[in-house]
Amino acid sequence: MTTTIYADFNGYGQGDDADWVELDTFGTLQDLHIYQVILREGLEIMAWDQSDETEDMEVVGTCHYHFGSRPHWRVHFPHGSLRYVPRRHESTRDFTCFRCRQPLPDLVRQPQQGSCPTCGLSIDYPWSAPSVESS
Protein backbone atom coordinates (compact mmCIF):
# COMPACT_ATOMS: atom_id res chain seq x y z
CA MET A 1 0.00 0.00 0.00
CA THR A 2 1.32 3.42 -0.96
CA THR A 3 1.67 5.98 1.84
CA THR A 4 -0.39 9.14 1.40
CA ILE A 5 1.40 12.39 2.30
CA TYR A 6 0.19 15.97 2.13
CA ALA A 7 1.89 18.20 -0.46
CA ASP A 8 1.08 21.80 -1.32
CA PHE A 9 0.21 21.67 -5.02
CA ASN A 10 1.03 25.37 -5.29
CA GLY A 11 4.56 23.94 -5.63
CA TYR A 12 3.54 22.11 -8.84
CA GLY A 13 6.14 22.07 -11.60
CA GLN A 14 6.40 20.68 -15.10
CA GLY A 15 9.46 19.21 -16.76
CA ASP A 16 10.35 17.51 -20.02
CA ASP A 17 10.24 13.98 -18.57
CA ALA A 18 7.80 14.35 -15.66
CA ASP A 19 5.81 16.75 -13.51
CA TRP A 20 6.50 17.22 -9.81
CA VAL A 21 5.19 18.61 -6.55
CA GLU A 22 7.58 19.94 -3.93
CA LEU A 23 7.59 18.21 -0.55
CA ASP A 24 8.77 21.17 1.50
CA THR A 25 5.84 22.38 3.59
CA PHE A 26 5.05 22.00 7.27
CA GLY A 27 2.03 19.82 6.41
CA THR A 28 4.30 17.39 4.55
CA LEU A 29 6.75 17.27 7.47
CA GLN A 30 3.90 16.69 9.90
CA ASP A 31 2.61 13.71 7.88
CA LEU A 32 6.11 12.23 7.58
CA HIS A 33 6.39 12.23 11.38
CA ILE A 34 2.90 10.86 11.97
CA TYR A 35 3.15 8.06 9.40
CA GLN A 36 6.86 7.46 10.16
CA VAL A 37 8.01 7.83 6.57
CA ILE A 38 11.58 8.78 5.71
CA LEU A 39 11.91 10.24 2.24
CA ARG A 40 14.43 8.43 0.05
CA GLU A 41 15.23 8.26 -3.64
CA GLY A 42 12.65 6.25 -5.55
CA LEU A 43 10.15 5.93 -2.67
CA GLU A 44 6.63 5.72 -4.08
CA ILE A 45 4.04 7.90 -2.35
CA MET A 46 0.63 9.37 -3.05
CA ALA A 47 0.71 13.15 -2.65
CA TRP A 48 -2.55 15.00 -2.08
CA ASP A 49 -3.86 18.51 -1.56
CA GLN A 50 -7.33 19.95 -1.12
CA SER A 51 -8.69 21.38 -4.35
CA ASP A 52 -11.85 22.86 -2.86
CA GLU A 53 -14.52 21.95 -0.29
CA THR A 54 -15.72 18.93 -2.28
CA GLU A 55 -12.66 17.53 -4.06
CA ASP A 56 -8.98 16.76 -3.58
CA MET A 57 -6.08 16.52 -5.99
CA GLU A 58 -3.85 13.46 -5.77
CA VAL A 59 -1.06 11.84 -7.66
CA VAL A 60 1.16 8.78 -7.23
CA GLY A 61 4.84 9.26 -7.94
CA THR A 62 8.38 8.68 -6.77
CA CYS A 63 10.49 10.82 -4.46
CA HIS A 64 13.63 12.51 -5.73
CA TYR A 65 15.95 14.97 -4.03
CA HIS A 66 16.47 18.22 -5.91
CA PHE A 67 20.02 19.60 -5.50
CA GLY A 68 19.31 23.10 -6.84
CA SER A 69 19.79 26.50 -5.27
CA ARG A 70 17.25 25.45 -2.64
CA PRO A 71 17.77 21.70 -2.02
CA HIS A 72 14.57 19.82 -1.13
CA TRP A 73 12.50 16.72 -1.90
CA ARG A 74 9.97 16.42 -4.72
CA VAL A 75 7.57 13.72 -5.86
CA HIS A 76 7.85 13.16 -9.62
CA PHE A 77 4.97 11.70 -11.63
CA PRO A 78 4.01 11.13 -15.28
CA HIS A 79 2.47 14.01 -17.25
CA GLY A 80 -1.32 13.97 -17.01
CA SER A 81 -1.53 11.66 -13.99
CA LEU A 82 -2.79 14.32 -11.56
CA ARG A 83 -6.41 13.52 -10.76
CA TYR A 84 -9.29 15.22 -9.02
CA VAL A 85 -11.25 12.97 -6.67
CA PRO A 86 -14.17 13.46 -4.28
CA ARG A 87 -12.94 14.90 -0.96
CA ARG A 88 -11.44 12.10 1.15
CA HIS A 89 -8.34 13.48 2.84
CA GLU A 90 -8.03 15.61 5.95
CA SER A 91 -5.10 17.73 7.04
CA THR A 92 -3.34 16.22 10.02
CA ARG A 93 -3.61 18.28 13.17
CA ASP A 94 -1.44 16.27 15.57
CA PHE A 95 2.32 16.40 15.42
CA THR A 96 4.28 13.65 17.16
CA CYS A 97 8.00 12.98 17.22
CA PHE A 98 9.23 10.48 14.66
CA ARG A 99 11.39 8.62 17.21
CA CYS A 100 9.76 8.82 20.63
CA ARG A 101 6.16 9.48 19.45
CA GLN A 102 5.70 12.23 22.04
CA PRO A 103 3.32 15.05 21.06
CA LEU A 104 5.01 18.17 19.72
CA PRO A 105 2.23 20.76 20.12
CA ASP A 106 4.62 23.71 20.43
CA LEU A 107 6.11 22.94 17.01
CA VAL A 108 2.76 23.58 15.34
CA ARG A 109 3.06 27.15 16.58
CA GLN A 110 6.87 27.44 16.38
CA PRO A 111 8.28 24.99 13.78
CA GLN A 112 11.64 26.75 13.82
CA GLN A 113 12.32 25.18 17.24
CA GLY A 114 14.21 22.43 15.45
CA SER A 115 14.22 19.33 17.66
CA CYS A 116 12.07 17.19 19.91
CA PRO A 117 12.34 18.43 23.50
CA THR A 118 12.01 14.84 24.79
CA CYS A 119 14.54 12.86 22.70
CA GLY A 120 16.39 15.59 20.78
CA LEU A 121 15.73 14.20 17.28
CA SER A 122 15.85 16.87 14.59
CA ILE A 123 12.40 17.76 13.33
CA ASP A 124 13.86 17.67 9.80
CA TYR A 125 14.91 14.02 10.19
CA PRO A 126 12.34 12.41 7.83
CA TRP A 127 13.18 14.75 4.95
CA SER A 128 16.92 15.06 5.46
CA ALA A 129 19.07 15.20 2.34
CA PRO A 130 20.26 11.80 1.13
CA SER A 131 23.79 10.94 2.16
CA VAL A 132 26.37 11.22 -0.57
CA GLU A 133 28.62 8.16 -0.51
CA SER A 134 32.22 8.66 -1.58
CA SER A 135 33.73 6.26 -4.08
- Rank 14-18, 44-48, 115-119 by mean pLDDT and report only the highest: 44-48
Decide: 87 and 53 in contact? Cβ < 8 Å: yes
Domain map of the chain by residue range? 3-127
* pLDDT beyond 80 at 107: no
Can you tell me the mean pLDDT for 100-110?
Answer: 75
Q: What is the reported pLDDT for 135?
A: 41
Smallest CA-to-CA distance from 63 within 46, 80, 81 is with 46
Q: Identify the bridge partners of residue 122 per DSSP, sorted by sequence position.
A: 115
In the chain, count of helices (H) and strands (E)? Answer: 2, 7
How far is residue 54 CA from its own chain's centroid? 22
